Amino acid sequence: MRLMISGASGFLGSALLRRLVERRDREVVAIFRKLPAGPCIDSGYETLIGTLDRDEQWRGIPRDCHAVIHTAARVHIMKDSAANPLAEFRRVNVDGTLNLANRCAGEGVRRFIFISTLKVNGESTADGQVFGPDDPVLPSDPYSVSKWEAEQGLHKIASRTGMQVVILRPPLVYGSGVKGNFLSMLRGLRRGFPLPLGGINNRRSMIYLDNLVDLITVCIDHPAAANKTFLASDGHDLSTSELLYRLGRSMGRPAKLFALPPLMLRAFAAGLGKADVARRLCESLCADISKTRQLLHWNPQISVEDGLRITAESYLRETRI
């Protein structure tokens, strides 16, 4: 039996590819947008080149492929230069995903695992509230709207063809090689910048990269995963302030935080064109993973403390190179 991974050069896809190749219990086919720079001979996986496009023919999908893990996507972009961002997200995340899924179903693929986002449930949770996988959804930006539309389309394909679909909605994913706002926090801590985030008492779910990879591997074969949606997290939510303090300790550079009232912080950030960043730093976004634990008998293997430490140490090593 073979497994196929899309987005094999990405942050999540490359980590999943390494894990599956190391296991050596399945043949692995890795989908890249273009041929990897290094040689693939003796890499432990086959290579398939393809793009997330509605017109991609997807020739070469093996007929004996047991499961496809679809990690490729157009991801959230803080400064999107596209004239119509929603149309661009739909072109890749909806049309491209459903084109691939239809071709997989036609080739007899048994299970299609789709990496969605917790933002499908909503942009934030109120105090004491957590999102569950079966709660009403409220996607609010082009990225989360496109992921929700892809989820709906995948369920239609599943009902029409019999191919099983598994939806995973992770929150922020961190780990070695992390980008975006998390990387910005690491840089700020390393440089010793004072940060006005000492008074943020929100709660946010996150998931360490290896924990998400572990959950995906469980979903490949687990019978209870078929045609269900699961949320993912480390199972331990942190405030922005607590996250920075923990990262600072892991880096040997204590966080220099001072308290700025959230309203003032938001106003200041908006003046700098960073309103979305401030909102994510100040608001809560929490996931309830009890269904994931109960149905899949899965628990995060790496604690938040260890995940943050490994991420911080990896970042410091990379900056010394």
Looking at the fold, whether 193 and 260 belong to one and the same domain comes out as: yes
Tell me the HSE value of 229 on the side-chain side, using a 13 A CA sphere.
Answer: 23
| Ordered mean pLDDT values, 10 residues apiece, the chain (321 residues) | 93 96 91 74 81 89 92 76 86 96 96 98 94 96 97 98 98 96 93 90 96 98 98 97 96 92 82 82 95 98 97 92 52
Q: Is 308:246 a contact under the CB 8 Å cutoff?
A: yes
Which alpha helices (DSSP H) does the chain contain, by range? 11-23, 85-89, 97-106, 142-161, 180-190, 209-221, 240-251, 262-271, 275-282, 290-296, 304-320
Number of domains within the chain: 2
Residue 239: which CATH number?
3.90.25.10
pTM: 0.94
d(CA 169, CA 237): 16
pLDDT at 42: 54
Looking at the fold, whether 14 and 145 belong to one and the same domain comes out as: yes
DSSP 142: H
Q: Is 65:112 a contact under the CB 8 Å cutoff?
A: no
Q: Is residue 291 part of a domain?
A: yes
d(CA 158, CA 67): 13
Segments forming the whole domain that contains residue 181: 176-206+235-321
Q: Is residue 221 part of a domain?
A: no
d(CA 302, CA 306): 6
Looking at the fold, whether 319 and 196 belong to one and the same domain comes out as: yes
Q: Is residue 228 part of a domain?
A: no
Tokens of 209: 């990269």
Looking at the fold, whether 197 and 273 belong to one and the same domain comes out as: yes
pLDDT at 142: 95
Residue 114: which CATH number?
3.40.50.720
Looking at the fold, whether 139 and 239 belong to one and the same domain comes out as: no
Mind telling me the catalytic residues? 143
Looking at the fold, whether 110 and 182 belong to one and the same domain comes out as: no
Helix (H) or strand (E) holding 166: strand 164-169
pLDDT at 41: 46
Q: Is residue 241 part of a domain?
A: yes
